Structure 1
């Protein structure tokens, strides 16, 4: 189910101080990038992704990453995307 505005606001506040854990280079969104993103989402639930110039626009790259990993695109600010995927068990975000 999509996130509400209140949930997005809370996630943006939690994600503000995070550092990017995945960096998309000039090759764009590759299988390796998607694998790294999936692993990071499994580990952290909420991650920042830095998107550099590539074959796709930053909006296309962020949307593709979110769709391919089953995550929600919380925010796209400049070249930084904030992605969220809640774990089924032992989630840090049970109150959302």
Structure 2
């Protein structure tokens, strides 16, 4: 599934009030961070990630996260990124986007 601009706009508005679920710090993207991101996206579908360190590498990190966890980058504002992965179970979906 690829997100179009209308869907990204809707998801950005839904993410506005969310606080960052994951903070990327000194350890960077190691296995526990990937596991935490995967668990957060499984339960919430839409999450925010804050980059405290590696701010210049955030686009590379987001590509690695998206490739490995099959997420989509909805948007990036400053050092905070919004990620989305639709739940495959229709009954458990939180955000209904078409």
TM-score w.r.t. the length of structure 2 is 0.90
- What's 2:94 paired with? 92
Q: Greater share of helix residues, 1 or 2? A: 2
RMSD: 1.5
Counterpart for residue 68 of structure 2: 68
The number of aligned residues is 96
- The alpha-carbon deviation at position 52 of structure 1 amounts to 1.9
User: What are the ranges of 5 or more consecutive residues in structure 1 without an aligned counterpart?
Assistant: none
> Once the 2 structures are TM-superposed, how far is the Cα of residue 17 of structure 1 from its aligned partner?
0.7
Q: Which residue of 1 aligns with 2:57?
A: 57
How far apart in 2 are the matches of 1:55 and 1:73? 16
5+ long unaligned stretches in structure 2? none
Aligned equivalents of 1:44, 1:33: Cα separation in 2: 16
TM-score of the superposed pair, with normalisation by structure 1:
0.91
